[in-house]
Structure 1
């Protein structure tokens, strides 16, 4: 039985740098999958990636990619291509992914690693929520992921229609300056 995993990597505190996290959560909330698939939000995983690269057959990483091109462009980077892209390493997690790949690539058994990356517009501002440009391309990013899963025999079945904003509010309670307001309930005595 093939073991497959989707890892959303990134940091939601810096605008578009959270795109991988939002995407993995979006997949979980809006789709059911037929086949052996695990989905995790990796945050900034570092060396933990090693174990995934060794224990799974297919690893699909959703992340930003720092390639000189237009924000919102989507790239599919198989690990061998990634290893050749020196200038790709901009954010800490991009560096870590490549470093882990370099280490496991010499091992006999390691996963087929594919990165689906989207070029961010803003990974500097401290705010939770994607930029307009990345929001416009988000659905396409999700469809590319579903296509990638399909190619390894995993079928996606749509079950819900939550927006990326819904996901952000649900996950963190904030999205581009909008916040969930907490309403105290009657029994909540800590408010008195």
Structure 2
């Protein structure tokens, strides 16, 4: 079993829906984990994979989840949900199809009695979701920094030893597809006044 799994879920193509994936991406870019003096940590870009994430949940003793969650509060606000409350909360506060699928993952892990000893969900209230091809709004991108600090604090409590990276990870070890990494994604996005408001032309199939 993996000692700790850090899982970012969401869809980076729908603005603030990508919050969870962007957190895991930033965590990997800035930090490495010293497994000689700390417990192993696995970083996973869960995207919208749904039930395909079951193996990662079943293999984890500690599970840290980053996600955009509709709490019905001010955009950019963070809220922490822990342990048994996580699957119940995600079932009651569905925001998108990926959350429905991930609730099923958690319930299946419980059913198979291969469930983490501890689970922490760090969720952020989104500001904008209806912007296909858009990126994180400034208030959510700012909140991501606080979310990472909270996540690192919990990882240390769980026995991980994060150390600042001397260099960025190579493309072959990146948790996200390099062309969809935050910097490349935002640079390729047209200006708002030029963008197709029904979506990003980079992702609209040609007719």
Normalised by the shorter chain, which TM-score bucket?
A: 0.7 to 0.9
**1:143 to 2:173 alignment:** no
Alpha carbons 1:79, 1:101 under 8 Å: kept: no
> Per-residue deviation at 1:177?
4.2
Tell me which residue corresponds to 2:55.
51
After TM superposition, the structure 1 = structure 2 runs for residues 1-16 of structure 1, keeping only pairs within 5 Å, are: 3-16=3-16
Q: Distance in 2 between matches of 1:25 and 1:132?
A: 17
Contact 2:70–2:125 at 8 Å: present in 1 too? yes
- Is the Cα contact below 8 Å between 1:67 and 1:87 reproduced in 2? no
Maintained 8 Å contact 2:51/2:104: no
Q: TM-score, normalised by structure 2?
A: 0.75
**TM-score, normalization by structure 1:** 0.80
Post-superposition shift, 1:103?
2.1
Q: CA deviation at 1:25?
A: 0.9
How much does 1:173 deviate? 5.3
Query: How many residues were matched structurally?
Result: 174
The two structures, once aligned, show a CA RMSD in angstroms of 2.4
Give 1:96's match in structure 2, choosing from 88, 95, 101. 101
SS of match in other structure, 2:45: strand
Unaligned runs of 5+ in 2: 169-180, 193-207
Q: What secondary structure does 1:105 align onto?
A: helix
| Structure 1 residues 139 and 176: CA distance shift in structure 2, 3 A | farther
